[in-house]
Amino acid sequence: MTNDETVLECAELVRHFPVKGSDKVVQAVNDVSLTFGAGETVALVGESGSGKTTVGRMILGLLAPTSGRIVYQGTALDEMDRRQRRDYRAGVQAVFQDPYDSLDPRRPVLASVREPLRRLELEESSRDGTQRAMAALEAVGLAGITAKTRPHDLSGSACQRVGIARALVTRPRFIVLDEPTSALSPIARAEVMRSLHDVQQSTGVSYLFITHDLAVVESLAHRVAVMYLGRVVEAAASGDVFGRRLHPYTEALLGSVLFPDPDRLDGFGVLRGEIPSPIDLPPGCAFASRCAIAGDDCRTAVPPLIDDAVAGHHVACIRQRTRSRDRQLTSTLRKETP
Ligand SMILES: Nc1ncnc2c1ncn2[C@@H]1O[C@H](COP(=O)(O)OP(=O)(O)OP(=O)(O)O)[C@@H](O)[C@H]1O
């Protein structure tokens, strides 16, 4: 259920963290732009430390960008008046990784789900708050929860679905999902993914889905953005990122998931060498030191994220054009060879 309306937009987001006792900075996020349509899921993938959570925290207003803008329903965060800020706090919610960590073990889960309504003064009465919390729990398949149920009475999947209900209770238009399935067993993961899918179908909410787990991306994401050391290096419709992957980093990342045994990579690139430090980024393309096809020209300027021949498929690699032409040539030759 996606349409052309833009719910949230990040434009040229940058976040640097000062390094104590030095004039250097950790370049956590550099020039990230993302657009989220209504009912759309964008997955943000990449190795640990690539800046995914930092992007999510900026969208949630938990961290101020060093520069760049976040625009929610047409208004930039730093230009919002009091009412718009309250709408934004209700309209942009989060679900985090560990379901048990994010719920108070001593508190009935119904009270935890209702809490955002109280904090944002959104309930008309106590009865209204309880009814809305029950409706949110029902939406994630937890109609059986009573006023006495506590987190330890629930399975990991049910607990994480309580987390989703708590995010849903304010009727948000956008939810940041930061590794919502990575602490769960495979069955619990499937249940949570189903709930997230059903909730999106029935409410039209948009998701930023931050994950290491490429296996779950294809089932939920409409689009995928691949991050490497603070920058988006490839972004496209989910099927295109998996099917036509153009950036050597995407290829290597997928290869490492699909073929954990490096001897059976079946043509995918290998993720060799160490990831550079975000404090001392090399000049040019940050992936060049681990890239099998990098040349000297890759080490001079940061490659811009540009549109490939297929609309909406963006890639930041000066070599990929040569590569995609080579691939095309090979397939044409195959077709023409009798
Ligand atoms: N508060 C902070 N102070 C200093 N550096 C930070 C801070 N928060 C994050 N960083 C650094 O910013 C970079 C990006 O971190 P971030 O957590 O956003 O990456 P990530 O892709 O979400 O990683 P993971 O998948 O492990 O959560 C890392 O080098 C991290 O150490």
- Count other C-beta atoms under 10 Å from residue 244's C-beta: 18
pTM of the model: 0.91
Q: How close is the Cα of 135 to the center of ligand 1, in Å? A: 36
Q: Which of 10, 17, 20 to mutate to test the pocket of ligand 1 (most atoms within 8 A of CB)?
A: 17
- Count other C-beta atoms under 10 Å from residue 202's C-beta: 10
Q: How close is the Cα of 338 to the center of ligand 1, in Å? A: 53
ipTM of the modeled complex: 0.98
Q: Which of 54, 57, 98, 176 to mutate to test the pocket of ligand 1 (most atoms within 8 A of CB)?
A: 54
Instruction: Indicate the pairing of strand 223-228 with strand 231-237.
Output: antiparallel
Q: How close is the Cα of 9 to the center of ligand 1, in Å? A: 21
* Average pLDDT over every residue of 238-243: 86
- The predicted pLDDT at position 258 comes to 65
Q: Which stretches within 101-208 are classed as H helix?
A: 109-119, 126-139, 156-168, 186-203
Q: What percent of the chain has pLDDT over 70?
A: 89
Q: What is the CA radius of gyration of the chain?
A: 22
Q: Which residues pair with 223 in a beta bridge?
A: 42, 237
Q: Which of 24, 27, 45, 53 to mutate to test the pocket of ligand 1 (most atoms within 8 A of CB)?
A: 53
Q: Where do the CATH 3.40.50.300 domains begin and end in the chain?
A: 6-227
* Average pLDDT over every residue of 81-95: 96
- The predicted pLDDT at position 330 comes to 46
> pLDDT per residue over 176-196, tens digit each?
999 998 888 889 999 999 999
Atom of ligand 1 nearest to the CA of 19: 4
Atom of ligand 1 nearest to the CA of 29: 14
Residue 53: which of 85, 20, 96 has the closest Cα? Answer: 96
Percent helix, strand and coil across the chain, each to the nearest 5:
40, 20, 40
> pLDDT per residue over 131-181, tens digit each?
999 999 999 999 988 889 999 999 989 999 999 999 999 999 999 999 998
Residue 201, Ramachandran bin (φ over 0: left; ψ between -120 and 50: alpha; else beta): alpha
- The predicted pLDDT at position 292 comes to 85
Q: Categorize the per-residue pLDDT at 329 as very low, low, confident or very high, splitting at 50, 70 and 90.
A: very low
Atom of ligand 1 nearest to the CA of 26: 5
Instruction: Report which DSSP code applies to 257.
Output: H
Q: How far is CA 300 from CA 26, 28, 78, 224, 292, in A?
A: 21, 21, 35, 27, 17
Contact 222, 40 (CB under 8 A): yes
Q: How close is the Cα of 53 to the center of ligand 1, in Å? A: 7
- The predicted pLDDT at position 335 comes to 45
Nearest CA owner, ligand 1 atom 3: 17
Q: How far is CA 179 from CA 45, 73, 99, in A?
A: 10, 25, 11
Contact 190, 157 (CB under 8 A): no
Mean pLDDT of the chain: 88
CA dist., res. 146 & res. 144, Å (int): 6
Atom of ligand 1 nearest to the CA of 278: 29
- Length in residues, the chain: 338
Fold of 6-227: Rossmann fold (3.40.50)
48 CB under 6 A from ligand 1? yes
Question: Does an H or E element contain 231, and which?
Answer: strand 231-237
